[in-house]
Each structure stands twice: as structure tokens, then as C-alpha cells.
């Protein structure tokens, strides 16, 4: 491998707890709560009402715009509520609540493509769109938008199998247990973008998965190149993965398509495969349930909308001392207040902490050790960004490129003074963007007023 | 099954895990790295350097505690940075320095150089070196009276104690023959020479430096740039006929190792980027040789680092990492 990204950290990967545990199917929950926004973009609009009977794979929410996706029923049964429910991203979100009839009746719409090999890229993209596929690594950007906006611009497609967050092993298990889905999905991506090969980026802590994939790739003569990287966080960050595979850097404020790259999470690739060959939209998700608070950590496949409490139940419950629940990995995941929130399309892990993972201690003063500069994969100087953020010097913070921060958490993980760096950058970015919006609104209003004056 | 309602959950911003290292463990590592050099001092001069070091540490921690208390600020003595300053201050002082004098040095180091600027991380010059510079100004004679090597220093009055010239002083006098006959290169390397408490043993300081690099407490960039610069410049412009020998005496002698490994790498007073650290080390090296060659003092490490400390903000301002996604050419536009 000729390329690498700069910086990064090596947290204890904590994957041993679940990496050898086969994916278990969750006993169907009695009720699922399916939020209408499990993607970036406009929320979907519910198209079912209380009392409606729904089947697995049936559309229950239609896209709310171009950058949006449909939502499908993940169990068969009766709609018992369409109302705001606690939401994993904070606050409440309209959700369709389905009472499971345990019949698992498939919707008539779920049927494989008649001639999968004969589909055009546009037809494939349409299938992806109708299947409600989003970036399932956690970013949840609608996949059809990424594909259609990339037509003709992309020369490198990268499947992200780095799974660089500690604890999470769902992708690892998927590659071991369902390599044909991974490789089949990769073939579809190659076809969509008219490329003779796609890259799959993986860390070297998953060499058994590399072997399994290699075998399937050879047997099926699939156009997949395996790029094995040293295990280092954030190897799986989109920009860093592009850099590692191609040596190119995504310009500030731009997307990977600006340098001819498109990155798809491994789960997304499998979802594309299932959508085309089984006609199945996104209704299930593999979730790693782990952490010191979980009695028996596992990898569980569950219907979308499963309340997270059911996941923990399936793992023997939580320890009493559990003090934190995290949806996602420990580096970028979101802490949850409530066990009522449910699994969404981007939920890769549910962690419970009961021990001293946080090493919570009071923050002290920056000692200028420069470790944050040495680990920042975006080549930033977090200590200065923090100083400016702290003093509310927004111009200085922007000049220090705080908007380039990808919030990977490497600096904060490493900070010996225990400063809440990423948190400061989030709020600083928010303030800068708010100020920009306000300035633009003011300018627009003044322009409109001037125009009105002229006319009068 | 678990009653999830009873969980006492906290929700904070990511990341949710932290490295074990914190400010205190870093400072503790620096103390550990300084121990071998202290051991050589005890082997050389007996218990006196140890007592002097303890007095210095107690004074530094005491001044820090008192200042924070008096100013009603959160007390920071727990971070152990004052302990490091205390050890370093003793290390740059002569063995025969009266105990009370080092307390004066500790006051300048902790109160004047560090706390008046806001405490840990906010000082712009190295506290221990300011302590030394102040003492040299106040008590020039005591600060330049050097114990002879391998002589047990008296614990009390040192009026009649055996003194010796340091290698740097002999080199300054230009009598290179006297130098090689007084101190062999092996003496220089091990530390059987006259000098400050902690500076004499190159090998023990290098050992400590290796520990700090291995523990990722310091980058190798600053010490490497500093020592290499001194080596190269003295080799190119030797005094005497043997450039290699001249270079080795320059590298092993004086406070170079102590300064390069433990002083120039001080976080608060040196640049944060590796490139900046290389420049900083280069500057320290050039200034050190210039003072040794042209200055009125035999040794220049202390003032070189203090001067370069003052350029840190400038280096940090102009030596930035290359912005991600922007090539050097684009950035230049």
C-alpha cells in the first residue's frame, strides 16, 4: 500500500468480545418503532394510518424530497400509532409503530429483479432508491443520490470495511458469514459506475475476513481489489480512506466525488445486493451489542425499529452500574438518554459502559503538548482551534480551519488535559454557520428592501 | 430482565473513551526519566545533590501551592509539573550551591516565570532556566563554583571543598591539551566530570530521553535537531586539529544533553508541530555554538533555549501543517 493518512490513534479495539460470535437473529419484537428520518435529508412522509395492516418490505413512508428515501415496514402486523417518539438523534421524531403479528408475511412488492444482469446503471440506481438504502456506516446519506450524482465523475469506488471504531464487529462478521453478498454488491457497484474494479478497504485486524473474501473473489472472478491497511483510527473515515486508497485528498468543504472517489459502507453494499437479487428493501440491521455494561455481548440482526432495550434483553440485560448507552462506536457514537429509542438504518452498535472507559476526570489546562496536532487526520491544530473557540473568536477559529474538522475524536481521545476538544469544535462550527446564515439573511433582506425602494 | 428505568444514565459528547495518559502521568514519566542522571550525581558527589534536589522540589511545589492558594485559583500541584521544574532547577545548579539559594531560584521559576503568566501551559519561557538565569545573576560566584568529580561533597559548608573546572571552561580557555588530559571522552560520556548536578552524564540523560520517546512523552525532533546542529557546526568549525574529538567534547560537554532532551522539549515553551520543533532545535543548536565560541560565558545552552522560547509563538504562527486537501502550490497562491 503506497498511501496512508496522517495521524490517527490506536485505542484498544475491544473487538474480542464479539468478533468470534456469529450474527444471531433477534426473536421478533412485539412492536417496532420506525422513525421517519433514518437518513440525512428531508424526513419521509408516513403513508399508513393507525389500523392499517402492513407486510414486511411494504413502503410505509415516502421520500420527502430528492435527498430522502422511502421507509419500509420491518415486520408484518398492524399500525398502532403514527406519532412522535423519542429519537436517537435527540428529541422526538414522527414514527410508525407496528404491532407485530408474528406472521412475517412478505409484501408483494418484495421480488427479485427479473433480469439482474441486464439492468442499466440507471435502473440499478432506481432499485437502490426504492429500497430505501442509505450510508449504513452511520452517515446515512441517501445512496441513490451518491450514485446518481457520481455518474461519469467517479473513477474509484471504495467499499469501506475498515470498521475502525472499537467494539464494533458487525461488518467483520458479515464478511465472514455473507461474503457472497459483499462481493455480489461490489460487482453491482462496478457495473453502475462502469469500472473494471472496485476497492475494498479493510484493516489488518480482520485477516480471516480477508481470506474468506479472497476466496470468493477468486471463485467468482469478481472485480474487487482488497486493500489491507494497518489498524489505525480513523481508517474508516471517508476522506482518510480515499487518501489511503488513492493518495488523493478531498479539498476542504468538498465531497469525495470531487477527487473521483465514491465510498460505500460494507452494509450499504450488502443492502444493494439484497435489493437487486432478493427485492428486499432495508428492513434489518446487524448491530454489535457490547461494552462493559452488557452481560453477554453479541452481534444481533434485528428488524429496523427494534427498541434498543430488546437488544440488551437479548444479551442478558445490562449491569446495574451502567452509566452510559452509546448508539454507534465509542469515538463518534451518540450517548442515549433513553432505552426507548429504536434501531435505525445507520445503527451499527449499541454500547453500554459500566466501568471506567471514560476515565472521567476534571479537565485541566492545555499543556501545549501538541499530541492533538500529531494525531489529527485533517492536519489541523486542535489546541489553537480550542483556544479560539473558548474565547469565542469565531474569525480566528475559522481561519484555523475549524470547519475542516471531521469530529473523529482522535485529538480528544489523546488529550492528556482531558479537554473536550471535539465538543468545542462542534459548538464553534455551529456558531460560525449560524453567523454566516444570519449574515446572508440580512444581506438578502437588505437587497430585497433596496429593490423594493427602487421600484417604489 | 433489567429494569432500564432505574439506570442512571449520563449523556456526554463523543468520544466516549480516553487514553490512559494524562498530564500527571506525563510529568511522572519525566521524573522517572530524570532519575538515572540523579543517580550519577549521587555516585559522583554523595548525598548533597540529592538533598539539593529535594529542597528544590519542595520549594517549587510549595511556591506553586501557596500562589494558587493566595490567588484563590484551583490548585494544580497534583499535576506534578512543579516537581519536574524542581528537579530540573536543581539539575542546572552546581553541587555546592547553598540550599537557601535554590529556594530563591524556585521562586523565580515557579512564581515569576510560570504562575504570573497563568500557570501550567501558559508560561512562555522555561521556568527552571529562568530560575537558573536569576541565580546566575544574583549569585554569580556560587553559581560558577564547580565540584570536582568523584569527590563526596560536604553536606554543610563547602568553603574548603574540592573544586574543578568544567570541560566547557577549559574549552573556553582554548587549552585543548589540558582538556583531553583532565577528562577523557569516556569520563564525558559516563559523567565523571565537573558540572551542574544533572548535566554531567550524557549516557544517563540519553537513557532518560529514550524512555521519554518510547513513552511518546516527547518527539525526537527537538533533541535530534539540537544535538545534530551542535555536532555539525562544531565539526565544520573546530578549534584545534581534531574536528571529531572537538565535536564529541562539545556534544558530550556542558548542558547540551540535559537542555536538548529535557528543556528544549518543554511543551509550553516549544512549538507544537514537528517541523516547528526541528526549526526550534536548529535555532537552539546554532545559538549554543555561537555563545560557546563568541560569548563571554563558557556555556550557552541555558540562554539559547530561553531565546528560542521567545520565538516559539513566531514559529507556531508560520509553521502550520499543510491543510488537508490543499496542495502546497494552491496554498501559496
- Residue A21, helix vs strand vs coil: coil
Query: What percent of chain A has pLDDT above 70?
Result: 99
Please check whether residue B324 lies inside any domain of the structure.
no
Asked if B102 contacts B90 with a C-beta cutoff of 8 angstroms, the reply is: yes
Q: What is the mean pLDDT of residues B307-316?
A: 97
Task: Give whole-number Cα distances, A356 to A34, A41, A125, in Å.
Answer: 33, 36, 46
pTM for the structure as a whole: 0.92
Please check whether residue B148 lies inside any domain of the structure.
no
Domain boundary residue, one of B143, B167, B198: B143
Asked if A324 and A380 sit in the same domain, the reply is no
In this predicted structure, the answer to whether residue A40 has a pLDDT above a threshold of 70 is: yes
User: Residue B157 has what pLDDT?
Assistant: 79
Please check whether residue A96 lies inside any domain of the structure.
no
Q: Which residues span the domain enclosing B68?
A: 23-143
In this predicted structure, the answer to whether residue A127 has a pLDDT above a threshold of 60 is: yes
User: Residue B298 has what pLDDT?
Assistant: 87
User: Residue A356 has what pLDDT?
Assistant: 85
**Residue A313 to residue B21, Cβ atoms within 8 A:** no
Please check whether residue B149 lies inside any domain of the structure.
no
Helix (H) or strand (E) holding A46: strand A45-46
**Residue B325 to residue A252, Cβ atoms within 8 A:** yes
CATH number at residue A328: 3.10.20.600
Closest C-alpha to A350, from A311, A382, A381: A311
User: Can you tell me the distance from the alpha carbon of B101 to that of B93, in angstroms, rounded to the nearest whole number?
Assistant: 10
Q: What is the mean pLDDT of residues A97-108?
A: 94
Q: Which residues span the domain enclosing A321?
A: 284-353
Q: How far is A434 from chain B (nearest CA, A)?
A: 20
**Residue A332 to residue B7, Cβ atoms within 8 A:** no
User: Residue B176 has what pLDDT?
Assistant: 83
Residue of B6, B11, B12, B17 to mutate when probing chain A, most A C-beta within 10 A: B17
In this predicted structure, the answer to whether residue A302 has a pLDDT above a threshold of 70 is: yes
- Residue B296, helix vs strand vs coil: coil
- For B2, the closest of A11, A317, A365 (CB atoms) is A317
Asked if B91 and B167 sit in the same domain, the reply is no
Q: What is the mean pLDDT of residues A75-79?
A: 96
Closest residue, chain A, to B267 (C-alpha): A369
User: Which residues of chain B have a CB within 8 Å of the CB of A309?
Assistant: 4
User: Can you tell me the distance from the alpha carbon of A353 to that of B330, in angstroms, rounded to the nearest whole number?
Assistant: 46
User: Which residues of chain B have a CB within 8 Å of the CB of A326?
Assistant: 14, 16
Q: What is the DSSP string of B174-230?
A: T-HHHHHHHS-HHHHHHT-S-S-TTTS-HHHHHHHHHHHHHTTSS-SHHHHHHHHHH
Q: Which residues contact A387 (CB under 8 A, 6 or more apart)?
A: A366
- Residue A326, helix vs strand vs coil: strand
Please check whether residue B308 lies inside any domain of the structure.
yes
Asked if B187 and B310 sit in the same domain, the reply is yes
User: In the structure grid, which three cell numbers stand for residue A278, read together?
Assistant: 432478493
User: Which residues of chain A have a CB within 8 Å of the CB of B322?
Assistant: 379
Residue B15 preceded by cis peptide, ω within 30 = yes
What phi, psi does A3 have (nearest 5°)? -115, 165
Asked if A298 contacts A315 with a C-beta cutoff of 8 angstroms, the reply is: yes
User: Residue A361 has what pLDDT?
Assistant: 66
Asked if B132 and B239 sit in the same domain, the reply is no
In this predicted structure, the answer to whether residue B333 has a pLDDT above a threshold of 80 is: no
What tens digit of pLDDT does each residue of B103-151 get?
999 999 999 999 999 999 999 999 999 999 999 999 999 999 999 999 9
Please check whether residue A386 lies inside any domain of the structure.
yes
Q: How far is A442 from chain B (nearest CA, A)?
A: 31
Return the sign of the alpha-carbon dihedral for residues B43, B48, B49, B50: positive
Asked if B114 contacts B248 with a C-beta cutoff of 8 angstroms, the reply is: no
Please check whether residue A341 lies inside any domain of the structure.
yes
**Residue B121 to residue A368, Cβ atoms within 8 A:** yes
Residue of A370, A404, A428 to mutate when probing chain B, most B C-beta within 10 A: A370
User: Can you tell me the distance from the alpha carbon of A114 to that of A276, in angstroms, rounded to the nearest whole number?
Assistant: 9
Query: Which B residues 285-324 touch A at CB under 8 Å?
Result: 320-324
Residue of B27, B218, B324 to mutate when probing chain A, most A C-beta within 10 A: B324
- For A368, the closest of B6, B13, B267 (CB atoms) is B267
User: Which residues of chain A have a CB within 8 Å of the CB of B325?
Assistant: 239, 249-252, 254, 404
How confident is the prediction for chain A on average, in pLDDT? Answer: 94
Please check whether residue A140 lies inside any domain of the structure.
no
Number of domains in chain A: 2
Asked if B310 and B195 sit in the same domain, the reply is yes
Q: How far is B25 from chain A (nearest CA, A)?
A: 9
In this predicted structure, the answer to whether residue A360 has a pLDDT above a threshold of 80 is: no
User: Which residues of chain A have a CB within 8 Å of the CB of B6?
Assistant: 320
Q: Does B16 touch chain A (CB under 8 A)?
A: yes
Please check whether residue B1 lies inside any domain of the structure.
no
What tens digit of pLDDT does each residue of B10-32 get?
888 999 999 999 999 999 999 99
Please check whether residue B8 lies inside any domain of the structure.
no
How many CB pairs below 8 Å do chains A and B form together? 171
User: Residue A2 has what pLDDT?
Assistant: 60
User: Residue B246 has what pLDDT?
Assistant: 94
Domain boundary residue, one of B88, B115, B143: B143
Q: What is the mean pLDDT of residues A117-132?
A: 94
User: Which residues of chain A have a CB within 8 Å of the CB of B81?
Assistant: 367
User: Residue B1 has what pLDDT?
Assistant: 61
Q: How far is A36 from chain B (nearest CA, A)?
A: 24
Please check whether residue B332 lies inside any domain of the structure.
no
User: Which residues of chain A have a CB within 8 Å of the CB of B121?
Assistant: 365-368, 417
User: Can you tell me the distance from the alpha carbon of B235 to that of B248, in angstroms, rounded to the nearest whole number?
Assistant: 9
Asked if B204 and B288 sit in the same domain, the reply is yes
Q: How far is A321 from chain B (nearest CA, A)?
A: 8
Closest residue, chain A, to B319 (C-alpha): A381
Please check whether residue A308 lies inside any domain of the structure.
yes
ipTM above 0.90, yes or no: yes
- Residue B241, helix vs strand vs coil: coil
Return the sign of the alpha-carbon dihedral for residues B25, B27, B31, B32: positive
Asked if B132 and B264 sit in the same domain, the reply is no
Q: How far is A29 from chain B (nearest CA, A)?
A: 15
Closest residue, chain A, to B13 (C-alpha): A423
| C-alpha count within 13 angstroms, C-beta hemisphere, residue B311 | 19
Closest residue, chain B, to A165 (C-alpha): B15
What tens digit of pLDDT does each residue of A425-449 get?
999 999 999 999 999 999 999 999 9
**Residue A324 to residue B321, Cβ atoms within 8 A:** no
What tens digit of pLDDT does each residue of A202-222 get?
999 999 999 999 999 999 999
Please check whether residue A111 lies inside any domain of the structure.
no
Please check whether residue B284 lies inside any domain of the structure.
yes
Query: Which B residues 73-132 touch A at CB under 8 Å?
Result: 76, 79, 81, 118-122
In this predicted structure, the answer to whether residue A452 has a pLDDT above a threshold of 80 is: yes
Q: How far is A410 from chain B (nearest CA, A)?
A: 8
Domain boundary residue, one of B117, B143, B169: B143
Q: How far is B266 from chain A (nearest CA, A)?
A: 8
User: Residue A115 has what pLDDT?
Assistant: 87
| Mode of pairing for the β-strands spanning A156-161 and A198-203 | parallel
Number of domains in chain B: 2
Asked if B134 and B187 sit in the same domain, the reply is no
Q: What is the mean pLDDT of residues A380-389?
A: 97
Asked if B251 and B284 sit in the same domain, the reply is yes
- Residue A220, helix vs strand vs coil: helix
Asked if A291 and A348 sit in the same domain, the reply is yes
Q: What is the mean pLDDT of residues B267-275?
A: 96
Q: How many helices (H) and strands (E) does chain B have?
A: 16, 0
Query: What residue ranges in A120-272 does DSSP mark as E strands?
Result: 156-161, 198-203, 224-229, 261-265
Amino acid at each position: 500500500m503506497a498511501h496512508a493518512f496522517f495521524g490517527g490513534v490506536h485505542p484498544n479495539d475491544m473487538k474480542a468480545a464479539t468478533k468470534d460470535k456469529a450474527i444471531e437473529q433477534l426473536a421478533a419484537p412485539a412492536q417496532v418503532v420506525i422513525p421517519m428520518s433514518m437518513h440525512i435529508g428531508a424526513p419521509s412522509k408516513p403513508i399508513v394510518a393507525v389500523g392499517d395492516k402492513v407486510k414486511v418490505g411494504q413502503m410505509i413512508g415516502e421520500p420527502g424530497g430528492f435527498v430522502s428515501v422511502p421507509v419500509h415496514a420491518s415486520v408484518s402486523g398492524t399500525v398502532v400509532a403514527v406519532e412522535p417518539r423519542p429519537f436517537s438523534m435527540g428529541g422526538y421524531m414522527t414514527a410508525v409503530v407496528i404491532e407485530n403479528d408474528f406472521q412475517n408475511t412478505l409484501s408483494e412488492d418484495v421480488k427479485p429483479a427479473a433480469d439482474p444482469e441486464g439492468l442499466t446503471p440507471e435502473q440499478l440506481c432506481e432499485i437502490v432508491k426504492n429500497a430505501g438504502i442509505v450510508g449504513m456506516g452511520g452517515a446515512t446519506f441517501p445512496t441513490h443520490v451518491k450514485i446518481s450524482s457520481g455518474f461519469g465523475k467517479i473513477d474509484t469506488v471504495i467499499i469501506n470495511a475498515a470498521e475502525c471504531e472499537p467494539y464494533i464487529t458487525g461488518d467483520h462478521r458479515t464478511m465472514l458469514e455473507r461474503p457472497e453478498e459483499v462481493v455480489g454488491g461490489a460487482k453491482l457497484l462496478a457495473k453502475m459506475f462502469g469500472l473494471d474494479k472496485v476497492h475494498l478497504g479493510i484493516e489488518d485486524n480482520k485477516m480471516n475476513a480477508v481470506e474468506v473474501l479472497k476466496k470468493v473473489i477468486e471463485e467468482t472472478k469478481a472485480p474487487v481489489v482488497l486493500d489491507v491497511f494497518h489498524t489505525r483510527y480513523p481508517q474508516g473515515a471517508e476522506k482518510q480512506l480515499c487518501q489511503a486508497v488513492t493518495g488523493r485528498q478531498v479539498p476542504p468543504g468538498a465531497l469525495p466525488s470531487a477527487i473521483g472517489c465514491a465510498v460505500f459502507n460494507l452494509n450499504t453494499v450488502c443492502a444493494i445486493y439484497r435489493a437487486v437479487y432478493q427485492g428486499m428493501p432495508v428492513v434489518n440491521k446487524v448491530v454489535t451489542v457490547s461494552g462493559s455494561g452488557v452481560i453477554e455481548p453479541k452481534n444481533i440482526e434485528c428488524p429496523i425499529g427494534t427498541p434498543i432495550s430488546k437488544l440488551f434483553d437479548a444479551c442478558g440485560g445490562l449491569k446495574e452500574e451502567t452509566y452510559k448507552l452509546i448508539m454507534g462506536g465509542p469515538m463518534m457514537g451518540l450517548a442515549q438518554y433513553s432505552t426507548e429509542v429504536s434501531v435505525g438504518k445507520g445503527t451499527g452498535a449499541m454500547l453500554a459502559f459500566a466501568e471506567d472507559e471514560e476515565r472521567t476526570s476534571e479537565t485541566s489546562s492545555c499543556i501545549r503538548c501538541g499530541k492533538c496536532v500529531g494525531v489529527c487526520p485533517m492536519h489541523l491544530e486542535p489546541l489553537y482551534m480550542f483556544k479560539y473557540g473558548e474565547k469565542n473568536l469565531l474569525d480566528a477559529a475559522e481561519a484555523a480551519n475549524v470547519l475542516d474538522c471531521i469530529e473523529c475524536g482522535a485529538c480528544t481521545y489523546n488529550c492528556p488535559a482531558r479537554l473536550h476538544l471535539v465538543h468545542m469544535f462542534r459548538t464553534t462550527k455551529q456558531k460560525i454557520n449560524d453567523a454566516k446564515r444570519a449574515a446572508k439573511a440580512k444581506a438578502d433582506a437588505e437587497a430585497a428592501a433596496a429593490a423594493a425602494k427602487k421600484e417604489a | 430482565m433489567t429494569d432500564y428505568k432505574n439506570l442512571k444514565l449520563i449523556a456526554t459528547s463523543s468520544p466516549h473513551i480516553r487514553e490512559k495518559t494524562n498530564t500527571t502521568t506525563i510529568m511522572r514519566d519525566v521524573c522517572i526519566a530524570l532519575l538515572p542522571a540523579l543517580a550519577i550525581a549521587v555516585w559522583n558527589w554523595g548525598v548533597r545533590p540529592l538533598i539539593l534536589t529535594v529542597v528544590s522540589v519542595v520549594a517549587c511545589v510549595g511556591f506553586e501551592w501557596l500562589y494558587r492558594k493566595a490567588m484563590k485559583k484551583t490548585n494544580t500541584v497534583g499535576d506534578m509539573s512543579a516537581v519536574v521544574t524542581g528537579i530540573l532547577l536543581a539539575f542546572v545548579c552546581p553541587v555546592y550551591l547553598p540550599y537557601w539559594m535554590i529556594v530563591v531560584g524556585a521562586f523565580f521559576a515557579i512564581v515569576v516565570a510560570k504562575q504570573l503568566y497563568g500557570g501550567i501551559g501558559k508560561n512562555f519561557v522555561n521556568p527552571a532556566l529562568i530560575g537558573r538565569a536569576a541565580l546566575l545573576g544574583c549569585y554569580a560566584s556560587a553559581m560558577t563554583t564547580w565540584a570536582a568529580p568523584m569527590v563526596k561533597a560536604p553536606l554543610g559548608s563547602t568553603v574548603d571543598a574540592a573544586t574543578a573546572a568544567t570541560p566547557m571552561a577549559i574549552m573556553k580557555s582554548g587549552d585543548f591539551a589540558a582538556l583531553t588530559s583532565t577528562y577523557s571522552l569516556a569520563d564525558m560520556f559516563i559523567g565523571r566530570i565537573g558540572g551542574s548536578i544533572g548535566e554531567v552524564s550524557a549516557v544517563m540523560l540519553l537513557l532518560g530521553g529514550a524512555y521519554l520517546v518510547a513513552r511518546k512523552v516527547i518527539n525526537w525532533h527537538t533533541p535530534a535537531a539540537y544535538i545534530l546542529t551542535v555536532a555539525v557546526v562544531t565539526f565544520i568549525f573546530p578549534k584545534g586539529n581534531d574536528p571529531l574529538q572537538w565535536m564529541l567534547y562539545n556534544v558530550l560537554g556542558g548542558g547540551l544533553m540535559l537542555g536538548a532532551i529535557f528543556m528544549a522539549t518543554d511543551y509550553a515553551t516549544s512549538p507544537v508541530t514537528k517541523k516547528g520543533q526541528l526549526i526550534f532545535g536548529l535555532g537552539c543548536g546554532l545559538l549554543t555554538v555561537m555563545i560557546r565560541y563568541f560569548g563571554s560565558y563558557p556555556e550557552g545552552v541555558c540562554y539559547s533555549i530561553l531565546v528560542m522560547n521567545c520565538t516559539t509563538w513566531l514559529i507556531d504562527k508560520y509553521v502550520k501543517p499543510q491543510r488537508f486537501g490543499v496542495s502546497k502550490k494552491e496554498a501559496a497562491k
